[in-house]
């Protein structure tokens, strides 16, 4: 299929009259102040591929390698939590809650679609606001873990809060050696944010629910991708599935994506403005 740079109005008309499954990525949250991985301003490993794992992101294998990695992860994550914690949904998140697609699949872990009121939602990579015990699988709230980390490391922030963060966003290893990590309150197991790390698989039942929704669209529906480079196969596979079934795929993204060749339409536009217009178009069609 050849990608067409059509006028936005033609694409809005197409999407206004169809059942849609929407797949979102980090790009829908940049207007809320949460940086993406692969936008124009994102860090890139020198000489590294555009599609490579971004620098400084810990893999699942590193995380489970032992206490040193877990200390480093949680020390750094504890510092970053404040920023993620204060972000609020933007106009695009609110528009999607109004559009209420057949299914909203998000690769984001920020919880902003939920905060905007989207209900028919699969967060394929989980949410940073949830925590899971790797031993007993009990899930709990990140906020209560952060409160425990605050208590356990009362003077750590004072001593290292500024110095620990290097300009590349990484945390000095020496500074994390005395960070105290909290264990599962039930079994003493290792706690991990309930998000899918690089090197980890998306739970099968989440994938199945997304495939079912895409399959149900047929040729009368459409898949809309908003704000994702489709770098990660966990999102790209739904675009492949739709294209194979003849379901038109629309991509709204600033910059190249790995699904461009599969799209019926590609628009290089801001997601917030586009989604607000789409919500309006669907309102007047009803």
Contact segment (CB under 6 A) with ligand NAD among 2-10, 26-34, 132-140, 156-164 equals 26-34
Rule CB under 6 A: say whether 176 interacts with ligand NAD.
no
78 catalytic residue (yes or no): no
Angle in degrees, 0-180, between the axes of helices 142-152 and 67-86, rounded to the nearest 10: 120
Q: Which is nearer to Zn ion, 99 or 131 (CB)?
A: 131
142 binds ligand NAD (CB under 6 A): no
Please tell me which residue in 78, 113, 125, 160 is annotated as part of the active site: 125
When the beta carbons of 186 and 261 are compared against Zn ion, the nearer one is: 186
Complete DSSP assignment for 160-218:
HTTTTB-TTS-B-HHHHTTPPPPPPTTT-PPEEEEE--BTSPPPHHHHHHHHHHHHHHG
State whether residue 275 is helix, strand or coil.
Answer: helix
- For position 221 contacting ligand NAD by CB under 6 A, the verdict is no
**Do 249 and 243 contact (CB within 8 A), yes or no?**
yes
Beta bridge partners of 103: 21
* Contact pattern from residue 56 through residue 95 relative to ligand NAD, giving x for each residue in contact according to CB under 6 A and a dash for the rest: ----------------------------------------
Interacting stretch for ligand NAD, rule CB under 6 A, among 4-12, 93-101, 159-167, 248-256?
Answer: 248-256
- Distance in Å, CB of 180 to Zn ion, minimum: 18
Residue 108 contact among Zn ion, ligand NAD, none, beta carbon within 5 to 8 Å by kind: ligand NAD
Residue 133 binds which entry of ligand NAD, Zn ion, none, with Cβ cut-offs from 5 to 8 Å by kind?
A: Zn ion
Query: CA nearest 107: which of 12, 6, 202, 4?
Result: 202
Question: Could you give the CA distance from residue 59 to residue 190 in angstroms, rounded to a whole number?
Answer: 16
DSSP letter string over 219-240? GGSEEEEES----SHHHHHHHH
Span near ligand NAD by CB under 6 A; candidates 29-37, 153-161, 182-190, 275-283 = 29-37
Q: How many helices (H) and strands (E) does the chain have?
A: 11, 9
The catalytic site residues sit at: 125
Binding site for ligand NAD (CB under 6 A): 25-27, 29-31, 34, 36-39, 107-110, 125, 227-232, 253-255, 270-271
């Amino acid at each position: 299929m050849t990608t067409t740079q059509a006028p936005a109005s033609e694409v809005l008309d197409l999407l206004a009259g169809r059942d849609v499954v929407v797949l979102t990525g980090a790009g829908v949250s940049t207007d809320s102040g949460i940086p993406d991985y692969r936008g124009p301003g994102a860090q890139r490993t020198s000489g590294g591929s555009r599609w490579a794992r971004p620098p400084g992101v810990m893999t699942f294998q590193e995380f489970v390698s032992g206490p040193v990695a877990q200390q480093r992860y949680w020390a750094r994550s504890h510092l970053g939590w404040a920023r993620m914690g204060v972000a609020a949904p933007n106009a695009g998140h609110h528009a999607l809650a109004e559009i209420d697609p057949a299914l909203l699949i998000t690769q984001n872990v920020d919880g902003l679609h939920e905060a905007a009121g989207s209900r028919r939602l699969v967060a394929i990579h989980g949410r940073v606001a949830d925590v899971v015990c790797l031993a007993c699988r009990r899930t709990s709230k990140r906020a209560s873990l952060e409160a425990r980390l605050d208590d356990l490391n009362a003077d750590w922030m004072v001593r290292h809060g500024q110095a620990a963060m290097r300009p590349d966003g990484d945390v000095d290893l020496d500074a994390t050696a005395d960070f105290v990590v909290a264990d599962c309150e039930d079994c003493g197991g290792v706690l991990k944010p309930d998000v899918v790390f690089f090197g980890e698989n998306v739970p099968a039942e989440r994938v199945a629910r997304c495939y079912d929704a895409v399959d149900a669209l047929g040729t009368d529906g459409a898949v809309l991708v908003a704000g994702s480079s489709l770098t990660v196969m966990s999102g790209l596979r739904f675009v492949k599935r739709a294209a194979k079934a003849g379901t038109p795929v629309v991509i709204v993204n600033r910059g190249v994506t790995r699904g461009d060749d599969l799209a019926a339409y590609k628009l290089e536009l801001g997601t917030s403005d586009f989604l607000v217009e789409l919500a309006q178009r669907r309102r007047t069609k009803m």
